[in-house]
């Protein structure tokens, strides 16, 4: 990745120029940066490298942070975002926390007030390193221009090795302006950060192979670690050689093709009945690149209660964290799968189990009311999936019901084509993430499947999409409500509406007194908003118009918002209530 030839070696350079040159040197070709007083020297330097490094101006730093994540999640390369000090930096915090929970390689650079005034409550000063201490993989406050080149190298080393995560580099303005002759080859100074123990010991892999041989009801439970490790192909080979069914977490979707017979799709709170039943009854759980999140496991004691558990993860601190494991293995999961492959045989005696999984799959498919007189969210997503099947399509989502339905009904066959803020569950992720994807994949169809609440959290990024020529499409599932919260109100709070209606407070819907499946007066007018930003826009409410509307969106030359009018009474099912088990699953 490093491009040594481009580095100036005997020239006095400012800290800002060293930092930008180092980014280029590490292969960064796009970053998302919003300027301000304390980061202006960095932006000035960016203009000097504009032929090698595209700077995209988001309309909010959080948008820039999520766009960088979109870039990273869809390419596997580190995403880079930049903001000024104070409010600029704090606007990055959510995207950094999000990258931490979903293990995304993100480099966040912030401007800082000058060294002499740090700690004096100077204008636009926040101690951003302190703020972010618990949500970064590592963080730096640069105090010497001579450290800039080394710190950028370290940051790239840290985000690209081991378990990925965010690194913050806080750069005081005087360090940006000071000059030195950079030493590009200064050794890394990372005592305690070791990256040489990511290969599973052979004897542990032999134990796993022996456990597989004895198992009669094995299941593979796969997460974002498979995608981070680029191990999707190895997973497919492993499953097809052994015949073991595969279920995925929200982060793992795309790692195993949805069309495969052995695919049990997503597990967990809103996962497939068949996936959750398979976990309940399995006798061997092969947990790969996962972290036994509570949205996956529900009640921990009940999760895979009859199974021997093998857990392979690159991060030792994940092993035995939530659930005791019989064979805990620290390893790069790709290495482990490659080494396991020759050790395993096609599993014997598991045909009845495979048959059982097939029957569950037939008996409890994801389903919805096909006869509904209008457009249901599930139907809109299934149609989008059908109409985009033959082209390179990458999907991002907001957070809420639409996110879960997208996970259920959009068919994914490839890794890095599904982007969801999963661990942090950040509304507002979808549009800026799609923007970052589009910057990295100019020829792909990039669709943000969004909710009306979520879209409004970063709707200003429509301006970035338009101005930066990023033709992102938004399939807006507009139910006029914070639907997922409404669903919990309906299920657990007797339907009492508590600030979950997104229209005016004097509308009867605001207190749950509305009468129709559809809210009549729709607010706001998303088509007008889209057009105000220069994007295309259309609304659709009749089922027979949906296909045409989706095709119009797809073929539009530029960013486009398709406002799909959907009801708010629909619930995401199945559902395992928080802290419960598969036996408490709500099916209708």
Ligand X SMILES: Cc1ncc(C[n+]2csc(CCOP(=O)(O)OP(=O)(O)O)c2C)c(N)n1
**Catalytic entry in 40, 44, 49, 124:** 124
For position 510 contacting ligand X by CB under 6 A, the verdict is no
Is 173 part of the annotated catalytic residue set?
Answer: yes
> Which listed residue (2, 123, 233, 261) is catalytic?
123
Q: Is 482 in the site for ligand X (CB under 6 A)?
A: yes
Query: At a CB cut-off of 8 Å and minimum separation 6, what does 275 contact?
Result: 247, 264, 265, 266, 267, 268
Q: What proportions of the chain, in percent to the nearest 5, are helix, strand and coil?
A: 40, 15, 45
Give the pair of three-digit tokens for residue 312: 């392979």
**481 contacts ligand X (rule: CB under 6 A):** yes
Q: What is the closest distance, in whole angstroms, from the C-beta atom of residue 495 to ligand X in the complex?
A: 16
Nearest CB to ligand X, comparing residues 70 and 289: 70
| Min dist. Cβ of residue 452 to ligand X (A) | 5
CB of 387 to Mg ion, least distance (A): 23
Please state whether 265 falls in left (phi above 0), alpha (psi between -120 and 50) or beta.
left
State how far the Cα of 109 lies from the Cα of 488, in Å rounded to an integer.
Answer: 38
Q: Which does 393 bind (CB under 5 to 8 A by kind): Mg ion, ligand X, none?
A: none
580 is catalytic: no
Among 347, 479, 503, 522, the residue binding ligand X under the rule CB under 6 A is 479
- Does 452 bind Mg ion (CB under 5 A)? Our answer is yes
Rounded distance between C-alpha atoms, residue 102 and residue 403, angstroms = 16
By CB under 6 A, the residues from 453 to 472 that bind ligand X are 453-454
CA of 464: how far to CAs of 45, 423, 445, in Å? 22, 26, 17
- Residues 305 and 48: their CA atoms lie apart, in Å, by 60
- From 355-363, 480-488, 514-522, 534-542, give the range in contact with ligand X by CB under 6 A: 480-488
Which candidate, 195, 178, 254, places its Cα nearest to that of 223? 254
484 annotated active-site: yes
Q: Which of 300, 316, 485, 510 binds ligand X (CB under 6 A)?
A: 485
Stretch that binds ligand X, among 127-135, 137-145, 196-204, 481-489 (CB under 6 A): 481-489
176: its two tokens? 């940006």
To Mg ion, the closest distance from the beta carbon of 382 in angstroms equals 18
Q: How far is the CB of 537 from ligand X (least distance, A)?
A: 18
Q: Does 483 help bind Mg ion (rule: CB under 5 A)?
A: yes
Of the ranges 13-21, 48-56, 149-157, 447-455, which one interacts with ligand X (CB under 6 A)?
447-455
Burial of 119-142, coded b for 16+ CB within 10 Å and e otherwise, reads eeeeebbbebbebbeebbbbbbbb
Q: Which of 21, 61, 112, 238 is catalytic?
A: 61
Could you give the string, one character per residue 399-428, with x where binding to ligand X holds by CB under 6 A and - elsewhere? Answer: xxxx----------------------xxx-
Contact residues for 44 (Cβ-Cβ < 8 A; gap 6+): 16
* Element containing residue 106 per DSSP (H, E): strand 106-112
Interface residue with Mg ion among 479, 487, 500, 581 (CB under 5 A) is 479
Residue nearest to Mg ion (CB): 451
Give the nearer residue to Mg ion in terms of CB position, either 70 or 503.
Answer: 503
Query: What 8-state DSSP symbol labels residue 289?
Result: S
| CA dihedral of 460, 462, 464, 466, whole degrees rounded to 10 | -150
CA distance 123 to 514: 49
> Is 233 one of the catalytic residues?
no
Point out which span in 212-220, 256-264, 476-484, 544-552 binds ligand X (CB under 6 A): 476-484
451 binds Mg ion (CB under 5 A): yes
Nearer to ligand X, 62 or 204 (CB): 62
Residues 6+ apart with CB under 8 A from 508: 514, 515
* Contact assessment for residue 171 and residue 155, using Cβ atoms and an 8 Å cutoff: no
Which among 413, 427, 424, 470 is positioned nearest to 447, based on CA atoms? Answer: 470
Instruction: Tell me whether residue 61 is one of the annotated catalytic residues.
Output: yes
Rounded Cα distance between 78 and 1, Å, is 12
**Residues contributing to the site for ligand X (CB under 6 A):** 398-402, 425-427, 451-454, 477, 479, 481-485
Active-site residue set? 61, 123-124, 173, 484
């Amino acid at each position: 990745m490093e491009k040594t030839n481009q580095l100036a070696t005997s020239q006095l350079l400012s800290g800002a120029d060293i930092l930008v040159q180092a980014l280029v040197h590490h292969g960064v070709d796009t970053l998302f940066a919003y300027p301000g007083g304390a980061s202006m020297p960095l932006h000035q330097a960016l203009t000097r490298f504009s032929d090698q490094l595209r700077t995209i101006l988001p309309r909010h730093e959080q948008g820039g942070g999520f766009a960088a994540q979109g870039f990273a999640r869809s390419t596997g390369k580190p995403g880079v975002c930049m903001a000024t000090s104070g409010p600029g930096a704090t606007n990055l915090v959510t995207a950094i926390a999000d990258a931490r929970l979903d293990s995304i390689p993100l480099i966040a650079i912030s401007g800082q007030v000058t060294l002499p005034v740090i700690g004096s409550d100077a204008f636009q000063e926040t101690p951003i390193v302190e703020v972010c201490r618990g949500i970064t993989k590592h963080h730096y406050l640069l105090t010497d221009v001579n450290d800039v080149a080394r710190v950028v190298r370290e940051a790239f080393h840290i985000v690209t090795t081991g378990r990925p995560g965010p690194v913050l580099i806080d750069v005081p303005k005087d360090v940006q302006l000071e000059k030195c002759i950079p030493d590009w080859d200064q050794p890394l100074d990372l005592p305690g950060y070791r990256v040489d123990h990511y290969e599973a010991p052979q004897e542990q892999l032999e134990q796993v192979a022996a456990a597989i041989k004895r198992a009669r009801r094995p299941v593979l439970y796969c997460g974002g670690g498979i995608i981070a490790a680029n191990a999707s192909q190895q997973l497919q080979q492993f499953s097809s050689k052994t015949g073991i069914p595969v279920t995925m977490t929200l982060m793992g979707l795309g790692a195993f093709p949805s069309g495969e017979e052995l695919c049990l799709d997503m597990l967990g709170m809103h996962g497939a009945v068949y996936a959750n039943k398979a976990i309940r009854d399995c006798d061997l759980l092969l947990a790969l690149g996962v972290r036994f999140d509570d949205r996956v496991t529900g009640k921990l004691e009940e999760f895979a209660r009859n199974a021997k558990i093998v857990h392979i993860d690159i991060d030792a601190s994940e092993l035995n964290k939530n659930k005791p494991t019989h064979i805990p293995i620290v390893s790069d999961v790709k290495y482990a799968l490659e080494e396991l492959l020759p050790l395993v045989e096609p599993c014997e005696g598991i045909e009845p189990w495979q048959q059982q999984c097939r029957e569950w799959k037939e008996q409890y498919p994801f389903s919805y009311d096909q006869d509904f007189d209008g457009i249901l969210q599930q139907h809109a997503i299934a149609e989008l999936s059908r109409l985009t099947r033959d082209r390179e399509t990458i999907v991002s989502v907001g957070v809420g019901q639409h996110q879960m339905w997208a996970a259920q009904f959009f068919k994914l066959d490839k890794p890095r084509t599904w982007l969801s803020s999963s661990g942090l569950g950040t509304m507002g992720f979808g549009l800026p993430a799609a923007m970052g994807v589009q910057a990295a994949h100019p020829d792909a169809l990039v669709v943000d499947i969004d909710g009306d609440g979520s879209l409004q959290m970063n709707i200003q990024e429509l301006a970035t999409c338009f101005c930066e020529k990023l033709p992102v499409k938004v399939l807006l599932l507009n139910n006029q409500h914070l639907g997922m919260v409404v669903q919990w109100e309906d299920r657990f709070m007797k339907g009492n509406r508590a600030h979950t209606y997104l229209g005016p407070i004097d509308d009867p819907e605001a207190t749950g007194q509305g009468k129709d499946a559809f809210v009549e007066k729709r607010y706001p007018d998303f088509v007008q908003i889209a057009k105000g930003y220069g994007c295309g826009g259309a609304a659709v409410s009749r089922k027979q118009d949906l296909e045409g509307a989706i095709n119009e969106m797809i073929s539009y030359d530029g960013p486009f918002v398709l406002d799909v009018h959907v009801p708010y009474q629909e619930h995401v099912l199945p559902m395992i209530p928080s802290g419960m088990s598969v036996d408490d699953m709500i099916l209708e």
